[in-house]
Amino acid sequence: MRIMNLVTLALIILGGLNWLAMGVTGYDVIGTALGGATLARLAYTVIGLAAIWQLMPGFQSFTVGEVDAERHIHHHP
C-alpha cells in the first residue's frame, strides 16, 4: 500500500499545483497538457479519487490508530 499512498499523494500535489496555477495566472496546466476536455476530466477524476484515498486514513485513525490507518491496515475483531 505504500506505493499507492505515494502515487495518490503525488497526484494530489499535482492537482494542487494546477489549482495554484489557475488561481494565480488563470492557466490550466493539466487541461492544456492533455489537450482535450475528455482527457482533462478523466485526469481530474483520478486526482479526486486519489484525494478520497488519502482521506480514508484520517477517518480510520479514529478507530485503528494513526500509523495503521496511514498504511491502510484494517483490524477486524
Which grid cell is 47?
486526482
CB 64 within 8 A of CB 74: yes
The C-alpha atoms of residue 15 and residue 29 are separated, in whole angstroms, by: 10
pLDDT exceeds 90 at position 60: no
Q: Is this structure's pTM higher than 0.95?
A: no
Q: Which residues have CB under 8 Å from 54's CB, separation 6+?
A: 5, 8, 9, 12
- pLDDT attached to residue 56: 82
- pLDDT attached to residue 8: 92
- Number of domains forming the structure of the chain: 1
Residue-number span of the structural domain to which 50 is assigned: 2-70
Judged by average pLDDT, the poorest of 4-18, 27-41, 43-57, 61-75 is 61-75
Which grid cell is 3?
506505493
Q: Is residue 77 part of a domain?
A: no
Q: Is residue 52 part of a domain?
A: yes
Q: Is residue 76 part of a domain?
A: no
pLDDT exceeds 70 at position 72: no
